[in-house]
């Protein structure tokens, strides 16, 4: 039995892929990649670094001697220098040129940017996967009339598919934000201790063009188009805030979806998947609790609050840098990504097995439709010679009486029977029922669904086929 605290993100929620991106192994292997790129760039620009030294560094890029690094850190109390030392132990011929001219943030900050880029790519893939599943659902149910709600009170009708496009639309906003963050992300590059590149001026005898060339080389080696134009010791912590804000937006959209589905489950109109042997309640065997959507809501709340951490970090950086960002940053940014990864994993699972109950939806529509159709019924009666003003008052009184039966007596909506019995309308029941066709009250909803999917969603899905498909199994 584990006798130390373990994050639920590691044991229950986040995927192995996302956990690896924020693992020590990913971090320290990226440090070594950066040190190799630095050595290659410096050699290319004329510094006395041999091919054999670079070959030695490359030979030990993956087999990190963690035990040596841990022991050294106990002595020197510096994580970067302990790993410089450990790398040098494995590469005695190259130890003198490891980290040459760089500050700790060369590996620390550049690695953070690289990891966030890879994490955003994984989030993007899963987000598009969710969009794909919901688009299939929206098209399948684009014509199914359902009650729409304002103030959580029945309003006009919509369709089940049209409601799904509202969820989709929010996710498209999030995808746009994510694409923006990815497109604007820049490496810190080689900026030196306080961002002035003074150490590199010394190395390259004041040749600024060589320093710029080194910066470009590092960017190319790490797969970036550019590095930040200016920095202090670190890249601006507003980068972390912006990325976490985008993650918060995804959490917001997920919470909206999950809360809607939880309410629909209460209405018995729709449900999340429920497995054959799943137990809904320890005390009430009949229950089908929406535990997946409840988990989405809980994790979304966590991610939305987590964005405050990078906001405060960005605001409290003194001059070129203060280290009070470090402990907070390594927790807040990682867990925001782990949280969103967990949310998207659940969304993929839920959206792949959404359950719809058309007969219940129809029943609930028909209970409310007489109220919504009152204007149409009145116009039908006017065409047969009725007085519009008189009929308006009569139908208002009948509607109030019918609502009283429903709310105070627990009866069924008897508005149609009341109108049939009122000679002022001159309508037979069959005539009224001809008006009460739910499909005639959904406006352009089916057309809107098809247009939205064709114009907004399908181009994304066609451009990203590798993001679609695949099953997601959830832990408890």
Which active-site residues does the annotation give?
151, 281
Give the three-state DSSP class for 142: coil
Neighbours of 118 (CB within 10 A): 19
SS3 call for 294: helix
> Rounded to a whole number, what is the largest CA-CA distance in the chain?
104
| DSSP-derived secondary structure letter, 274 | -
310 in Cβ contact with 333 (< 8 Å) = yes
CA distance readout (Å), 216 to 14, 170, 213, 220: 35, 37, 5, 6
> Which ranges constitute the DSSP H helices of 289-387?
291-306, 308-315, 326-351, 358-372, 374-383
Query: How many Cβ atoms are within 10 Å of 176's Cβ, its own excluded?
Result: 12
The residue among 138, 163, 172 whose CA lies nearest residue 250 is: 172
Nearest to 172 by CA among 427, 470, 460, 406: 460
- Give the closest residue to 45 by CA, choosing from 202, 214, 199, 189: 214
Question: 3-state class of 272 per DSSP?
Answer: coil
Nearest to 246 by CA among 317, 184, 304: 304
Find tokens 């080194």 and name the residue: 214
Q: Is 73 helix (H, G, I), strand (E, B) or coil?
A: helix
Please name the residue that has the structure tokens 């940053």.
329
Contact 10, 19 (CB under 8 A): yes
């Amino acid at each position: 039995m584990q006798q130390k605290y373990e994050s639920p993100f590691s044991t229950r929620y986040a995927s192995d892929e996302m956990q690896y991106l924020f693992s020590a192994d990913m971090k320290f292997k990226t440090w070594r990649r950066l040190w190799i790129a630095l050595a290659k760039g410096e050699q290319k620009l004329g510094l006395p670094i041999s091919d054999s030294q670079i070959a030695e560094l490359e030979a030990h890029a993956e087999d990190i001697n963690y035990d040596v690094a841990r022991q050294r850190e106990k002595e020197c109390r510096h994580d970067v220098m302990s790993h410089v030392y450990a790398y040098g132990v494995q590469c005695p011929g190259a130890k003198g040129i490891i980290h040459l001219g760089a500050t700790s943030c060369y590996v620390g900050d550049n690695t953070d940017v690289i990891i966030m880029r890879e994490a955003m790519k994984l989030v993007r893939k899963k987000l598009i996967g969710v969009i794909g599943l919901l688009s299939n659902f929206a098209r399948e149910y684009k014509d199914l009339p359902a009650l729409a709600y304002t103030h959580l009170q029945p309003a006009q009708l919509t369709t089940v598919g049209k409601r799904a496009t509202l969820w989709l639309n929010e996710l498209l906003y999030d995808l746009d934000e994510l694409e923006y963050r990815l497109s604007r992300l820049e490496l810190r590059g080689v900026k030196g201790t306080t961002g002035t590149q003074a150490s590199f001026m010394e190395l390259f005898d004041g040749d600024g063009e060589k320093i710029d060339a080194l910066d470009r080389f590092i960017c190319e080696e790490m797969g970036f188009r550019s590095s930040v134009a200016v920095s202090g010791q670190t890249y601006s912590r507003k980068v972390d805030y912006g990325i976490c804000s985008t993650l918060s937006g995804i959490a917001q959209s997920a919470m909206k979806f999950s809360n809607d589905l939880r309410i629909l489950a209460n209405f018995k109109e729709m449900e999340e998947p429920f497995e054959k042997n799943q137990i809904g309640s320890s005390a009430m065997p009949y229950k089908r609790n929406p535990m997946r959507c409840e988990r989405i809501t809980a994790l979304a709340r966590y991610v939305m609050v987590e964005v405050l951490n990078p906001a405060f970090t960005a605001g409290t950086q003194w001059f070129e840098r203060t280290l009070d960002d470090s402990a907070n940053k390594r927790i807040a940014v990682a867990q925001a990504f782990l949280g969103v990864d967990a949310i998207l994993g659940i969304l993929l699972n839920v959206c792949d097995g959404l359950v719809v109950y058309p007969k219940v939806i129809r029943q609930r529509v028909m209970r409310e439709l007489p109220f919504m159709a009152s204007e149409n019924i009145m116009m039908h009666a006017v065409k047969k010679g009725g007085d519009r003003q008189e009929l308006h008052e009569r139908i208002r009184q009948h509607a109030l009486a019918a609502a009283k039966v429903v709310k105070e007596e627990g009866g069924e909506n008897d508005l149609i029977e009341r109108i049939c019995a009122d000679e002022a309308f001159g309508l037979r029941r069959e005539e009224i029922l001809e008006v009460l066709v739910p499909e005639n009250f959904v406006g352009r909803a089916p057309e809107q669904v098809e247009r939205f999917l064709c114009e907004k969603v399908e181009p994304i899905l066609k451009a990203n086929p590798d993001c679609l498909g695949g099953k997601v199994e959830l832990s408890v």
